[in-house]
């Protein structure tokens, strides 16, 4: 018999690995299944959609990536960056989410030591180093509305320096081209004391190529009062990722990213990388190795080589 603590760990692992976190077929296909033609079309749609959903489950953050009230979770990630220009960095990130009882599964508490607008899974922050807004923060999340294809939630929180922030997020999944591709639209509006207002509009198009391979195109436009005051206009991002599932324990993400600003219309950096993620030793332990080449404008676009090493684990509890 497993002890209660061991059962908690195992359930948390299933969430991270995707065995429990896999979305329902309705999130990939919403048509009828009344006839053989409908059932065949539904099977093809799910076959094309599931590789993208598996990518989300394996690579993305299970603490913030979904509003499904399945569990309270904690993710701990240790990260070390080495660069040949000696701009090395190391960090340990902790993210926690606790669902509140007797709240109709609408309220949860969030605790983290990294700003979500600079999270490593956000496209604009997919570079090994950069300005970080570190410091402990806690927030209350209210899930305003939730369905298989849509999320609307509101966060209100405070940082360790006693400054406050609030953020409204809307996400929607749309089928494209007779459900052979999928568009995920995410809109964030936020206010941070004392930095003011900001917004991020993210468009991601997933095109599954095979049952184990998926292509993703990402475009993001961001606006903050800081960028406006600095005369940079809007932040712009373009990215392409090829995800390949190697086996049930490992996957590869090949990426190309370009970031810049609308004023004076310059590219701030180019970046290519290969992100290898693998489950090791225990089902709840993951490692990532990410070699990269970065061409930053601040260094006249001279290539900077580096590698990121991450060690990640997740603790969680599922209810029901």
Q: Are strands 137-146 and 150-159 parallel, antiparallel or unpaired?
A: antiparallel
Longest dimension (CA), the chain: 64
pLDDT digits (tens, 9 = 90+) for 148-159: 889 999 999 999
pTM: 0.77
Residue 84 tokens, joined: 């040949």
Pick the residue with more confidence: 3 or 229? 229
Contact 12, 284 (CB under 8 A): yes
Residue 105 pLDDT > 60: yes
Alpha-carbon span 94 to 316, nearest angstrom: 13
Tokens 């598996």 identify what position?
54
Per-residue pLDDT, 73: 77
Per-residue pLDDT, 57: 66
Pick the residue with more confidence: 195 or 167? 167
Per-residue pLDDT, 56: 64
Residue 85 pLDDT > 70: yes
What are the DSSP E strand ranges found in the chain?
Answer: 71-83, 89-99, 107-112, 137-146, 150-159, 164-176, 181-192, 196-210, 213-224, 235-247, 250-261, 266-279, 285-296, 304-318
pLDDT digits (tens, 9 = 90+) for 39-65: 654 555 555 455 556 666 667 654 455
Mean pLDDT in residue range 15-22: 35
pLDDT digits (tens, 9 = 90+) for 255-275: 999 999 999 889 999 999 999
Alpha-carbon span 315 to 10, nearest angstrom: 8
**What does the DSSP 8-state code read for residue 118?**
G
Residue 200 pLDDT > 50: yes
In 3D space, the residue among 175, 174, 157 whose CA is nearest the CA of residue 166 turns out to be 157
Mean pLDDT in residue range 176-180: 87
Question: Is the backbone peptide bond immediately before 194 cis, with ω within 30 degrees of 0?
Answer: yes
pLDDT digits (tens, 9 = 90+) for 125-136: 344 434 455 678
Lowest mean pLDDT among 6-20, 21-35, 176-190, 224-238: 6-20
In 3D space, the residue among 135, 117, 10 whose CA is nearest the CA of residue 64 turns out to be 117
Per-residue pLDDT, 33: 52
Q: What percent of the chain has pLDDT over 90?
A: 48
Per-residue pLDDT, 126: 44
Mean pLDDT in residue range 20-30: 39
Residue 167 tokens, joined: 């953020």
Pick the residue with more confidence: 69 or 24? 69
Pick the residue with more confidence: 16 or 84? 84
pLDDT band at 278 (very low <50, low <70, confident <90, very high): very high
Q: How many CB atoms lie within 10 A of CB 247?
A: 9
Per-residue pLDDT, 27: 45
Query: Using H for helix, E for strand and C for coil, what is the string for 262-315?
Result: CCCCEEEEEEEEEEEEEECCCCCEEEEEEEEEEEEHHHCCCCEEEEEEEEEEEE
Instruction: Assign 51 to helix, strand or coil.
Output: helix
Domains of the chain: 4-318 (2.40.160.40)
Residue 110 tokens, joined: 């969030």
Winning range, highest mean pLDDT, from 1-10, 13-22, 94-103, 311-320: 94-103
Mean pLDDT in residue range 225-252: 93
């Amino acid at each position: 018999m497993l002890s209660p603590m061991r059962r908690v760990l195992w359930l948390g692992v299933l969430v991270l690995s995707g065995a429990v976190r896999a979305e329902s077929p309705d999130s990939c296909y919403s048509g009828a299944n009344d006839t053989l033609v409908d059932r065949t079309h539904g099977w093809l749609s799910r076959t094309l959609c599931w590789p993208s959903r598996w990518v989300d489950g394996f690579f993305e953050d299970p603490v913030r990536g979904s509003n499904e009230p399945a569990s309270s979770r904690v993710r701990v990630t240790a990260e070390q960056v080495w660069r040949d220009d000696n701009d090395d960095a190391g960090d340990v990130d902790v993210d926690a989410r606790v669902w509140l009882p007797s709240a109709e599964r609408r309220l949860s508490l969030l605790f983290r030591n990294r700003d979500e607008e600079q999270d490593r899974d956000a496209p604009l922050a997919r570079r090994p180093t950069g300005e970080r807004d570190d410091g402990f923060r806690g927030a209350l999340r209210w899930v305003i509305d939730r369905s298989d294809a849509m999320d609307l939630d509101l966060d209100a929180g405070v940082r360790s320096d006693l400054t406050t922030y609030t953020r409204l997020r809307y996400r929607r999944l749309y089928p494209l081209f007779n459900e052979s591709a999928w568009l995920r639209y995410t809109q964030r509006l936020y206010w941070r004391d004392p930095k003011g207002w900001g917004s991020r509009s993210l468009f991601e198009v997933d095109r599954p190529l095979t049952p184990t391979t998926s292509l993703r195109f990402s475009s993001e436009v961001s606006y903050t009062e800081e960028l406006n005051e600095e005369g940079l206009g809007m932040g712009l991002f373009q990215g392409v990722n090829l995800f390949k599932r190697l086996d049930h324990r490992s996957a590869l993400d090949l990426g190309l990213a370009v970031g810049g600003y609308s004023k004076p219309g310059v590219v701030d950096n180019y970046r290519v990388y290969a992100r290898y993620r693998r489950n090791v030793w225990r089902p709840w332990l993951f490692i990532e190795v990410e070699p990269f080449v970065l061409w930053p404008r601040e260094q006249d676009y001279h290539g900077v080589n580096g590698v990121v090493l991450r060690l990640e684990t997740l603790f969680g509890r599922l209810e029901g």
